[in-house]
């Protein structure tokens, strides 16, 4: 790479960046919020930028994916180019709110500090706690740096299989190391500033107080962080070979922490059901409840748990990308510029845009609302076909296409079928579920009424409860508990592979249809 440095200006954010000549635009723009849904392989057009000043040639992928008008207007795919001159790019920036946790729970006080980390495919949330008081002393959130190589777990798996997983392992270990150190520095600064305040640590240098770091995440994140080969997850029967709890010393990870500190990644349950779901079971108390309940996490993968203190069943479905805006023609994360809610008002659509301003795309909650609204207006048939149209205008230039409706049908059918099968395996019916906990950001923001209207959730609204970031809450609880207890709980949870269930295809096909009328 050349020693010359060029400037990149981003509009309308008025941001000026500098990078050495030859630096990939993908590496420059990822930290600025540009998504690379296909992992920068030139297969989609999710990373479009418009050249306002400077020049970027036209690649074969751009000729295939972009229209002649778009190419003439200066639109390019950021993943196909490197920096060779000064550039000004039109970049619709956005900020994304990452769900944290402020829950209170009972615990046994201990000495020192602990850090809980929810390692998601898209986002990371981390909190540093005083184990004596339970107070959260510092919080850090970030987008997962691995996302530059693919937005969902299957893209990450493909990258790891094609290029080896050392790149992904190095990215996440380095990023989490920086996050852990930043948490400690923030807590130290707080300790110095409030040395004489009650409830605030008095010591200025508390680095040595860090006793434990607990991580939770899905099975792919577990393997990529821990260095466990991912090949078994990419072929039948899609079961991990080493799903158990993994323990590291700081030197194993290259983290500048006291060597007595312990870093643990909690155990997976099986298949694509990871320790984030195990943490969710603990956070919701599903494993101690006498009543039959369910937990559903609709992130980049869709996981479902059904059971109580007597028995717990779980499964995963390849449904999450649609719920997070992936594979949707104008889909995006739940961030500034995304249509997050759609309502019918006087036979017209009213859309809410995150951050206000001109809408740029459609996030998962907006997608569910839009389809529910289309059903109510009879613009969309229960079969999923659009009535006398191929697309549905929402707001501004944002539209809903027939292919988007199909993606939602596939996603909701997989989730609904999984819930029905697990409930049936326990000798129960959906109406026997006392509660359905919706975990994660999507579960926190989705309209329960819209989810019922499309047939995703077929329970009374009062039984459907947004549960927040149960993965982070469970990880925080694990800081105070014996790790062996989590191994025992993981062994209790039975993993069900839907593809091996003889009734799955029939139930899935039935769930593809939307309810003809509101439930």
Does residue 25 sit in the same domain as residue 76? yes
In a domain, 503, yes or no: no
- CATH number (domain holding residue 33): 3.10.20.30
In a domain, 217, yes or no: yes
DSSP 163: H
Domain end (from 58, 90, 122): 90
Q: Are strands 302-307 and 312-317 parallel, antiparallel or unpaired?
A: antiparallel
Residue ranges of alpha helices (H) inside 82-165 are: 153-163
In a domain, 246, yes or no: yes
Domain extent, residue 72, equals 5-90
- For residue 508 the two structure tokens come to 């899935």
Statement: residue 98 has pLDDT above 90: no
Polymer length of the chain? 519
In a domain, 516, yes or no: no
Statement: residue 204 has pLDDT above 50: no
Domain end (from 224, 248, 277): 277
CA 150 to chain centre: 12
Higher pLDDT, 496 or 150: 496
Higher pLDDT, 474 or 199: 474
Distance from C-alpha of 456 to C-alpha of 414, rounded to nearest angstrom: 9
Higher pLDDT, 390 or 495: 495
Statement: residue 297 has pLDDT above 70: yes
Contact 72, 63 (CB under 8 A): no
In a domain, 77, yes or no: yes
Mean local confidence (pLDDT), 193-201: 52
Among 15, 18, 20, residue whose Cα is nearest residue 7:
18
* 414, burial (CB in 10 Å: exposed 0-12, middle 13-18, buried 19+): buried
- For residue 95 the two structure tokens come to 């900020």
List, as one string, the DSSP characters of 488-503: HHHHHEEE--GGG-TT
Does residue 194 sit in the same domain as residue 121? yes
Q: What is the pLDDT of residue 97?
A: 67
Does residue 269 sit in the same domain as residue 128? yes
Residues 137-170 have pLDDT tens digits of 999 998 899 988 887 888 899 999 999 999 999 9
Does residue 83 sit in the same domain as residue 177? no
Q: What is the pLDDT of residue 154?
A: 85
Does residue 15 sit in the same domain as residue 75? yes
Distance from C-alpha of 434 to C-alpha of 463, rounded to nearest angstrom: 6
Statement: residue 205 has pLDDT above 50: no
- CATH number (domain holding residue 247): 3.30.420.480
In a domain, 381, yes or no: no
In a domain, 159, yes or no: yes
Does residue 61 sit in the same domain as residue 122? no
Provide the number of structural domains found in the chain. 2
Q: What is the pLDDT of residue 206?
A: 47
Q: How many CB atoms lie within 10 A of CB 223?
A: 30
Residues 100-142 have pLDDT tens digits of 788 889 999 999 999 999 999 888 999 999 999 999 999 999 8
Query: 259-284: string of b/e by CB count within 10 Å (b at 16+)?
Result: eebbbbbbbbbbbbbbbbbbbbbbbb
- Cα end-to-end distance, the chain, whole Å: 61
**The CA-based dihedral angle spanning residues 116, 121, 124, 125, taken in that order and rounded to the nearest 10 degrees:** -50
Q: What is the pLDDT of residue 419?
A: 96
Q: How many CB atoms lie within 10 A of CB 31?
A: 12
Q: What is the pLDDT of residue 201?
A: 47
Q: pLDDT band for position 485 (50/70/90)?
A: very high
The neighbouring-strand residues paired with 436 are: 294, 464
In a domain, 29, yes or no: yes
Does residue 147 sit in the same domain as residue 241? yes
> For residue 116, what are the contacts with CB-CB under 8 A and spacing of at least 6?
126, 127, 129, 214, 216, 472, 475, 476, 478, 479
Q: What is the pLDDT of residue 413?
A: 93
Does residue 118 sit in the same domain as residue 83? no
Does residue 122 sit in the same domain as residue 258? yes
Does residue 33 sit in the same domain as residue 75? yes
Statement: residue 88 has pLDDT above 70: yes
Domain end (from 254, 277, 300): 277
Does residue 60 sit in the same domain as residue 124? no
Does residue 148 sit in the same domain as residue 266? yes
Statement: residue 202 has pLDDT above 60: no
């Amino acid at each position: 790479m050349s020693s010359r440095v060029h400037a990149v200006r981003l509009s309308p954010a008025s941001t000026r960046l500098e990078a050495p000549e030859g630096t990939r635009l993908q590496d420059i723009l990822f930290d600025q919020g540009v998504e690379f849904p296909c992992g920068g392989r030139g297969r989609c057009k999710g990373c479009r930028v418009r050249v306002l000043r400077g020049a970027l040639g036209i690649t074969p992928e751009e000729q295939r994916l972009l229209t002649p008008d778009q190419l003439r207007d200066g639109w390019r795919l950021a993943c196909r180019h490197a920096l060779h001159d000064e550039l000004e790019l039109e970049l619709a920036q956005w900020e994304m709110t990452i769900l944290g946790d402020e829950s209170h729970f009972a615990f046994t006080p201990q000495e020192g500090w602990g850090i809980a980390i929810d390692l998601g495919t898209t986002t990371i949330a981390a909190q540093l706690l005083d184990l004596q008081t339970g107070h959260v002393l510092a919080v850090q959130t970030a987008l997962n740096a691995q996302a530059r190589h693919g937005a969902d777990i299957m893209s990450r798996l493909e990258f790891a299989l094609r290029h080896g997983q050392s790149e992904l392992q190095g990215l996440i270990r380095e990023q989490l190391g920086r996050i852990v150190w930043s948490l400690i520095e923030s807590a130290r600064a707080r300790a110095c500033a409030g040395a004489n305040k009650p409830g605030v640590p008095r010591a200025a240098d508390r680095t040595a107080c860090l006793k434990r770091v607990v991580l939770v995440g899905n099975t792919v994140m577990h393997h990529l962080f821990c260095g466990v080969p991912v090949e078994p997850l990419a072929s039948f029967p899609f079961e991990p070979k080493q799903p158990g709890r993994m323990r590291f010393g700081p030197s194993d990870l290259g983290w500048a922490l006291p060597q007595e500190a312990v870093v643990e990644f909690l155990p997976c349950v099986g298949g694509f059901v990871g320790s984030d779901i195990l943490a969710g079971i603990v956070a919701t108390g599903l494993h101690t409840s006498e009543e039959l309940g369910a937990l559903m996490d609709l992130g980049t993968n869709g996981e479902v748990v059904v059971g109580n203190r007597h028995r717990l069943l779980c499964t995963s479905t390849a449904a999450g990308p649609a719920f997070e805006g992936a594979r949707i023609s104008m889909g995006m994360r739940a961030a500034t510029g995304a249509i997050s809610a759609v309502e019918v008002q006087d036979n017209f659509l009213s859309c809410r845009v995150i951050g206000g301003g001109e809408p740029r795309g459609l996030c998962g909650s907006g997608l569910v609302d839009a389809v529910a609204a289309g059903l109510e207006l009879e613009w969309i048939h229960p079969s999923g076909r659009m009535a006398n149209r191929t697309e549905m205008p929402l707001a501004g230039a944002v539209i809903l296409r027939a292919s988007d409706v199909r993606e939602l049908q596939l996603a909701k059918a997989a989730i609904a079928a999984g819930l029905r099968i697990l409930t049936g395996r326990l000798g129960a019916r959906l109406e026997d579920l006392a509660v359905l906990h919706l975990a994660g950001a999507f579960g926190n923001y989705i309209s329960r009424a819209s989810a019922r209207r499309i047939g995703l959730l077929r329970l009374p609204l009062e039984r459907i409860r947004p549960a927040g970031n149960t993965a982070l809450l469970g990880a925080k609880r694990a800081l105070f508990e014996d790790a062996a207890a989590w191994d025992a709980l993981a062994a209790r949870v039975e993993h069900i592979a839907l593809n091996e269930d003889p009734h799955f295809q029939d139930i899935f096909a039935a769930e593809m249809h939307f309810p003809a009328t509101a439930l």
